[in-house]
Structure 1
Amino acid sequence: MCRNKFIPLSVPNLKGNELAYVTEAVKTEWVSTAGPFIADFEHQIAEYVKVPGAAACQSGTAGLHLSLMALGVKAGDEVIVPTLTFIAAVNPIRYIGAEPIFMDCDDSLTMDAGKLKKFCENECEFRGETLFNKKTGKRVSAVIVVHIFGNLADMEQIISIAEMYHLKVLEDATEALGSYYLEGTYSGNYAGTIGTMGVYSFNGNKIITTGGGGMIVSQNPDLAERCRFLSTQAKKDSLYFVHEEVGFNYRMTNLQAAFGLAQLEQLEDFIKVKQKNYERYICQGVALLPFKENIRSNAWFYSYATKNRDGLIRFLDKHQVQSRPVWQLIHTLKPYRGCQAYQVEKAYQYYECIVNLPCSSNLSETDVDRVAELVKKFEKSDIGCL
């Protein structure tokens, strides 16, 4: 009976103080966008990733939207983004009336820094101190770097390119809370803390969750404070309801923050389990895509490359194991088909072959072994060899 149980792809692990902290929030009646747990959660996230400023918000998507505004990206600008990512990394660009330029990935699935440099060198030009796209005539103002599945992009090279071409760098670290560099210029620096601003997500499938929520971080506390201000309807005077600019209802609730504090207490344990299960898949003969050797990855999501992606997904589903393909490339989706995509090649290859396998932090060794056996059985079959 146990062998036939359903194994989900990625679900929350709620075995800590979640109920106790949420109950306290309810008992004190601080359940909305005010209350002590919010400030505590901001402080503890900032302390964990070693930054002076953090602002809790409604979602990772909201965090990216607010960050782009705080960085001064304007309507009519262009922002360089990866095409191999979740669409939430791209939509906020359109929220502010800007346009994305899509970049290819490298073998880490993160933005190809070499192509980013080539694009800036060959497809852009300076007008004074500002970079413009030769093809469109628009200002290129920022780069959104996405750390895919807990892997880290080549931030050393990307920051160097951004400084050379006067671009702001926004890190979408929604999948990489807890990942950091082990060597190089940014040794000891966490994902989200290297660019001008960074954003984390606490969606239900992330390494820690608040049910839904996000966090903006920055080495510049003024930028975090600017986002906090915008997230609370840009209220200049809280007594007399003075609003001098358009704001948003993007603040995290006290209930969510209470939940998040309990999750944060367990983060390092979650990472250890994810790393252990990642290694167990490999020991069981499943050649997962590697994380970079120069980082401590949070091992959030496991990626497996196969010749028959859809066949494997159907096979696992038949045996009560949930899996998924990687996202459809954003520049091929209807809302973004008219946007510029620069030398996208490798992203197509990975889109066609990647299957994400179960990776929850409460996944047992028995579960890992069962999934591994199913993957190997499929690959040895006539279907898997197609």
Structure 2
Amino acid sequence: MSARDIPWCVPDLSGREVEYVTDAVASGHIGPAGPYLERLERQVAEVSDAACAVTTCCGTDALHLALLLAGVRPGDEVVVPALTFVATANAVRHLGAYPVVVDIDPEYWQIDPCAVAAFLTGCEQRRGRVINPASGRRVAAVVPVHLLGHPAPLAELDELAQDSGIAVVADGAQGLGATYRGCGIASGGVLTSLSFNANKIITTGGGGAVLTGDPDLAARARYLGAQAASGTYQHDEVGHNWRMSNVSAAIGCAQVERLADLVAAKRRIHDAYSEALVNVPGVSQPGCAPWATTTRWFAPLAVDPATAGIDAAELRAHLASKGVSAGPVWTPLHQTRAHAGCAPAPCPVAERLGRAVLQLPCSPGMTEDEVSRTINAVRTGVRDAARGSAFRGIRARASVLRP
């Protein structure tokens, strides 16, 4: 990548990260214990409106742990949205359970409560358990994902879950800093997992956390994540080593201090794209529900080739030719080889968006010039496609970008 190229999504480490990491190393607290870990857990719980936060090695581990705490067991089924990063389904499979995917809504791109309700309506109650008659398996939980930093419709899902007797475990990997009905994403007491991967709202280089309103669940999370140690080399269960290091937490502490600024930067970038591209034919972005604020973690752009004259892969290739790095959207889970066949019903919205979406650059440190260059590149891509000029070779380059 040349100095003039615009990266897709890189972290902003311009705060006190180096100072805190240096202090952590100098103190000798480099393992899974220390003051920065304790501080990070307090800070993350506070901004999420959770009673407790327990840090982990990564976001996938956090979701795995949250599902385990919710009672998901081998052989169970867990309802997940069709469009999400594969880690959501992988965490289910790591437990020996099975993801069942349902469609997302076309306006906010969140898991569709109507699709969840339709699936649960086809299930049966047997001895207090929800059973999928097609598989004979127990349905144990639903995992709403706060996709792209927009909160999922938790109230509707919680009502469905209570009526059915299943758990709700939120995948909040992209949602730290968002609000749901005026509160943090963990305010309702639903078990929630977070990710602190390098491209998330805040980063620890990797890592994640489980949020809960129940101190007993938090204590069990720490126990299971520390090899289920009940004493010195005494272990009553098979545990895991899910603990974050104090050094990683030091980075996170510097990041969470600037959470409001990082989210504001993401929103500024998104708003600039929205305002400038609103009249470009064939491109659109997801909305924001009146009951939510979103982090605008990524800056997705849906491309309708029938109107724009260009598809998402072709527009990505055009942007690359202008030095603008754009990312793809995720392949819908049921269309991956890893989780093929996990959709009991068609998922037309997720499948359409899986073909139509690209992710514009959204690093929180983007300059106004970089945002303007990205906007101009999108405009010229659509304009050139409409004119049929300066477009020769883009389709050939786009073929390598299609999944």
Q: Secondary structure at the match of 1:90?
A: helix
**Residue 211 (structure 1) aligned with residue 181 (structure 2):** no
Check whether the contact 1:193–1:217 (CA below 8 A) recurs between aligned residues. no
TM-score by length of 1: 0.94
Q: Residue 158 of structure 1: SS of its match in structure 2?
A: helix
Q: Is 2:267 the counterpart of 1:268?
A: no
Per-residue deviation, 1:264? 0.2
Instruction: Name the SS for the 1:194 alignment partner.
Output: coil
Question: 1 CA distance for matches of 2:206 and 2:250?
Answer: 12
1:115 corresponds to which letter in structure 2? A
Determine helix, strand or coil for the equivalent of 1:381: helix
Give the CA deviation at 1:173: 0.4
Partners of 1:384 and 1:96 in 2: CA distance:
53
Structure 1 counterpart of 2:61, one-letter code:
A
Tell me the SS of whatever aligns to 2:261. Answer: helix
Letter of the 1:44 partner, please give it: Q
Q: Distance in 1 between the 2:144 and 2:157 partners? A: 9
Q: Distance in 2 between matches of 1:178 and 1:375?
A: 28
Asked if residue 65 in structure 1 is aligned to residue 57 in structure 2, the reply is no
State the SS of the aligned residue for 2:165.
coil
Q: Does 1:282 align with 2:279?
A: no
2:237 aligned partner: 245
Deviations 1:121-178 (A, max 9, x none): 1x20111321110111111010111111011211121111111111101100000101
Residue 160 and residue 256 in structure 1: after superposition, are their counterparts in 2 closer, same or farther (change >3 A)?
Answer: same
How far 1:365 sits from its partner (Å)?
A: 1.3
Question: Match for residue 184 of structure 1?
Answer: none
Partner of 1:115: 115
The Cα of 1:193 is off from its aligned counterpart by 4.0
Give the one of 305, 309, 312 matched to 2:312. Answer: 309
The answer to whether structure 1 residue 201 and structure 2 residue 195 are counterparts is yes
Q: What whole-Å deviation, never above 9, does each CA across 1:264-316 have from its counterpart, x for those lacking one?
A: 00000111111112111122225433232321111111111112011011111
CA RMSD in angstroms comes to 1.7
Aligned counterparts of 1:244 and 1:344: Cα–Cα separation in 2: 43
CA contact (8 A) 1:81 1:102 kept: yes
Alpha-carbon offset, residue 195 of structure 1: 5.6
Equivalences for residues 88-127 of structure 1 within 5 A: 88-107=87-106, 108-121=108-121, 123-127=122-126
Contact 1:284–1:369 at 8 Å: present in 2 too?
Answer: no
CA contact 1:289–1:302 (8 Å) conserved in 2:
no
> What amino acid maps onto 1:288 in structure 2?
Q
The CA deviation at 1:188 is: 2.3
CA contact (8 A) 1:77 1:98 kept: yes
Greater CA drift, 335-344 or 38-47: 335-344
CA distance in 2, matches of 1:293, 1:67: 28
Give the conservation status (yes or no) of the 8 Å contact 1:62–1:214.
yes
Task: Tell whether the 8 Å contact from 2:69 to 2:217 is kept in structure 1 after alignment.
Answer: yes
Which of 217, 226, 241 is the matching residue for 1:223? 217
Large movers: runs of 4+ above 4 Å: 383-386
**What TM-score results when the alignment is normalised by the length of structure 2?**
0.90
2:346 counterpart (343, 348, 366): 343
In structure 1, stretches of 5+ residues that fail to align are 182-186
Q: Quick one: distance in 1 between partners of 2:363 and 2:195?
A: 16
The answer for the alignment partner of 1:159 in structure 2 is 158
Matched residues, percent identical? Answer: 35
- State whether residues 129 and 138 of structure 2, in contact with CA within 8 Å, keep that contact through their aligned partners in structure 1: yes
Gaps of 5+ in 2: 279-283, 306-310, 389-394, 396-403
Aligned to 1:377: 380
Measured in 1, the distance between the counterparts of 2:148 and 2:186 equals 14
Q: Which residue of 1 aligns with 2:368?
A: 365
- Bigger shift: 349-358 or 222-231? 222-231
AA paired with 1:260?
G
Count how many residue pairs are aligned between Structure 1 and Structure 2: 376
CA change 1:112–1:338 in 2 (3 A) is same
Q: CA deviation at 1:189?
A: 2.5
Q: Hey, what does 1:148 align to over in structure 2?
A: 147
Q: Distance in 2 between matches of 1:80 and 1:270?
A: 31
Letter in structure 1 aligned against 2:298: F
In the TM superposition, what whole-angstrom CA distance separates every residue of 1:196-248 from its partner, at most 9, and x where no partner exists? 300111100011100001011011121122111111111111xx210111111
Looking at structure 2, the residues matched to 203 and 178 of structure 1 have their Cα atoms a distance apart, in angstroms, of 15
> Does residue 298 of structure 1 match 2:292?
no
Aligned residue for 1:126, secondary structure, equals: strand
Conserved 8 A contact 2:151-2:292: yes
